[in-house]
Structure 1
Amino acid sequence: MSLHVHELGAPQGRPVLALHGVTGHGLRFRPLAAALPGLRWLCPDLRGHGRSPWTPSWGLEQQVADVLAVLDREGLAEAVVVGHSFGGAVAAHLARRAPERVSRLVLLDPAIGLDPRDMLEAAESTRPDEVFPDADAARADKAQSWKNVPDALLDAEIADHLVPHGEQWAWRYCRAAVVAAWSEMARPAVVPPAGVPTLLLPAGREDFVRPEWVAACRAELGDALTVAEVDAGHMLYLERTAEVVDRLRAFLDG
């Protein structure tokens, strides 16, 4: 089963495979693609999310196989791989499995090797249905967790990701897949393999990226690792788009 892929930017540009976080969708990368229009952005909805198949399995190995199939379908031997949150975990596992397919790796506040107790709490909170009486209620709820995201991007999230659910409204993702994803983020952390140039952008106002994991990345990657903390919350590329774009442009040019 093929993933649904949102294609943005220049069709003949340098390919970028962009992997979103849990409960998200590929169009969340639209601000980065708009700021770097010379690149060819392939932004799939991961399995269990958006317009892609919702059927299991939802583990990291299946997610990696799915996104490798995207590269195969597009005839791409390699691509820059960008991953945010759970997408960062998928990206890191992709680089471990097939390093020859990853020309450069960008990890935006990746969710890797997280505390199992925290992931249990997150999974339990995700299990009940989350529905809203109308779009305004959904927007207000999202604004609580996206406190520093511009209003225009909140409006885009409503337009792109909110769908009817009976007489109410819900976000377009499979709750069972999201519960499984929290479990996957509690697995032992992996680091990108030696030889893959990697840019790590931790969110300074969150604690997803642990110092010991960064140290393990440095030990594995050496000078191939660039780390630059962004003073933002977990949605750093939506909160501080210009700063993330500058970091990304410099890394790709380098």
Structure 2
Amino acid sequence: MVTAQHTIRLPAGNFVYRVTGIADRTTVLALHGMGRDGSDWDATAQALAPEFRLVAPDLRGHGQSVRTGQYSLEAMRDDVAAFVDALQLDDFVLLGFSLGGVVAYLYVQARREHVRQLVTVDTPLPTTWEQPAPPAQAPEGIRHDWNAITQLFPELHTTTVWWWNDLARIGCPALLLRGGEASWMPQERIEETARQMPDAHVVAIPGGGHPIHRIQFATFADHLTDFLRGQK
């Protein structure tokens, strides 16, 4: 299935996004992780076609999308809301990995009426836990805005009470995939995130690590397609 790349103007600036699949199929809006871009979902897009259409934007500060200099999780949530409105998406599936998974939680809390299903990949809602902070200066070869890393890191490691309270607003069916012992992400936080949601369940993928959709792609794709088809 051919993937087409497009550019759209949103309030924050120009955003690049990729579309794979047939227009009249259910849309899966896929949000990538920190330091990646929409191409991270190319294999997933091919696996889902032709049953589903996958749309994968580059988040602000990533890929070919706008670099704003100022970054926050809620600003990224608002970018997604503007993107959804511009493309007139409705009754779509929201899929997010890591940073993209957090943005997905925040989006569904605010605009749950648009989302039919939510899937996150090894992603808890942010809560306070220790992890070494990124260096102030960008390493060589970085292709995304390092300001996004340094500014988002504190938010991703801080408990925001109203975000946790608002998990109860996510009423759509939700699948939270986690990578088990091979992941550096705190797995108990993913379980806790699911417990705060009305219709969520967690599936652990042994050996999945953090980027399950790359490390254990076949297993990831099986769980994802079963869930999207309503089989789980």
TM-score, scaled relative to structure 2:
0.83
Q: 1:188 aligned to 159, 184, 200, which one?
A: 159
Counterpart selection for 1:12 from 1, 24, 32: 24
Give, in whole Å, the separation in 1 of the partners of 2:86 and 2:203.
Answer: 33
Report the equivalent of 1:143: none
Query: 1:178 is aligned with what amino acid?
Result: I
- Tell me by how many angstroms 1:6 deviates: 1.3
* Structure 1 equivalent of residue 9 of structure 2: none
Deviations 1:51-89 (A, max 9, x none): 000114311111011011111111112320000011110
Q: Which residue of 1 aligns with 2:221?
A: 245
Structure 1: state its 5+ residue gaps: 132-169
**C-alpha distance 129-215 of structure 1, shift in aligned 2 (>3 A):** closer
Q: Deviations over 1:119-175 (max 9, x none)?
A: xx2323xx32322xxxxxxxxxxxxxxxxxxxxxxxxxxxxxxxxxxxxxx232000
Q: CA deviation at 1:193?
A: 2.8
Percent of aligned pairs sharing the same letter: 29
The answer to whether the 8 Å contact 1:2/1:70 transfers is no
- Distance, in Å, in 2 between the alignment partners of 1:9 and 1:240 is 23
Provide closer, same or farther for how the CA distance between residues 27 and 226 of structure 1 changes in structure 2, counting only shifts above 3 A.
same
Contact 1:122-1:182 at 8 Å conserved across structures: yes
Work out whether residues 17 and 82 of structure 1, in 8 Å CA contact, stay in contact via their aligned partners in 2: yes
What RMSD over aligned residues (CA atoms) do the two structures have, in Å? 1.8
1:72-120 CA-partner distances (Å, limit 9, x unpaired)? 11111232000001111000011111111211100101153244541xx
Cα distance change on mapping 1:192 and 1:27 into 2, 3 Å: farther
Q: Is the 8 A contact 1:22 1:181 kept in 2?
A: no
Matched ranges for 1:199-214 at <5 A: 199-204=175-180, 205-214=182-191
How has the CA–CA distance of structure 1 residues 10 and 171 changed in structure 2, closer, same or farther, with 3 Å as cutoff?
Answer: farther
1:226 paired to 2:226: no
- Aligned AA for 1:12? D
Q: Does 1:236 align with 2:212?
A: yes
Structure 1 residue 73 corresponds to structure 2 residue 67: no
Residues 35 and 144 of structure 2 are in contact (CA less than 8 Å); yes or no, is this contact kept in structure 1? yes
CA shift in 2, pair 1:236/1:79, >3 Å: same
Which moves more between the two structures, 193-202 or 1-10?
A: 1-10
Separation (CA, whole Å) in 2 of partners of 1:83 and 1:72: 18
Any conservation in 1 of the 2:184–2:209 contact (CA below 8 Å)? no
Q: Secondary structure at the match of 1:171?
A: coil
Question: Once the 2 structures are TM-superposed, how far is the Cα of residue 226 of structure 1 from its aligned partner?
Answer: 2.1
SS in 1 for 2:134: helix
